[in-house]
Structure 1
Amino acid sequence: MPCLYITTNLNLDGIDTKNPIFSECTTAVSTIIGKPKRMVMVLLTSSVLVTLGGSNEPTAYAEIVSMGGINSEVKKKLIEAIGNILETHLSIPTSRFFLKISDIKKLSAKSKM
């Protein structure tokens, strides 16, 4: 299940899951990684004390965790797509957005964890 965590210093009180940011992020992650939409989770946290370059202008940090489906081309597409969505809906410039992408591998059946 791919999970996209977005953290921003913007105050987004009142935003709900009907906001297009959720559906557009879900579609982008699903399409680019190649996982069903029903498996994509999107979390949005706002009003976090975050600065970039010492400035408190609108900024965001995001992280995608997926079990498989990640390669260098997918990473480039995710950075572009999520950055554009945040710029469109939250007015966060792509130059003030950072995306960490992690591909976790399924634990082997022999694992004791």
Structure 2
Amino acid sequence: MPYLKLSTTASLSDEQSPQLLDQLSKLMAQQTGKPERYVMVQIEGGKAMLFAGNNQPLAYAECKSIGLTTAQAKAISSSLSRLLNDALQIPADRVYIEFSNCPAEYWGWNGSTFG
């Protein structure tokens, strides 16, 4: 049920994409305390984006999960910013993250919902 969608100006090679997907999936599982089998991650690289009036490397992420706490959001923000800096050389001040705590009854899976 944790979902992370990452859009970035960074172009990702065929080798980078699977590695980054794996790292992001593990990060989301660890930071939310949910089994990785419920984590979904999506990356869109090479996007035309502008932040603070320029197109220097940047990223925007949408992070959604059932029961997401403010403490988890802060931890994910820190961990995700470090990962994006290490993997894609995107500085933390060029990353926006939108967090959503979704009620279980509004998260569908396997023909039903979690609530």
Q: Which residue of 2 aligns with 1:111?
A: none
Q: Which residue of 2 aligns with 1:24?
A: 23
Q: Which residue of 2 aligns with 1:34?
A: 33
Answer 1 or 2: which has greater helix percent: 2
Q: What is the letter of the counterpart of residue 87 of structure 1? A: N
Q: Deviations over 1:62-102 (max 9, x none)?
A: 0111122x111111101000111100000000110011110
Instruction: Give the alignment's TM-score, normalised by structure 2.
Output: 0.85
Q: Which residue of 2 aligns with 1:95?
A: 93
Q: How many residues align?
A: 105
Cα distance in 1 for residues equivalent to 2:101 and 2:54: 31
SS at match of 2:105: coil
Cα distance in 1 for residues equivalent to 2:50 and 2:8: 9
Q: What is the letter of the counterpart of residue 7 of structure 2? A: T
Cα distance in 1 for residues equivalent to 2:22 and 2:10: 19
1:48 Cα deviation after fit: 1.2
Question: Which aligned segments of 4 or more residues in structure 1 are displaced greater than 3 angstroms?
Answer: none
SS at match of 2:104: coil
Cα distance in 2 for residues equivalent to 1:40 and 1:46: 20
- Gap regions ≥5 residues in structure 2: 107-115
Calculate percent identity across the aligned residue pairs.
27
SS at match of 1:77: helix
Cα distance in 2 for residues equivalent to 1:16 and 1:77: 23
- Gap regions ≥5 residues in structure 1: 109-113
Q: Which residue of 2 aligns with 1:45?
A: 44
Instruction: Give the alignment's TM-score, normalised by structure 1.
Output: 0.86
Q: Which residue of 1 aligns with 2:57?
A: 58
Cα distance in 2 for residues equivalent to 1:26 and 1:11: 19
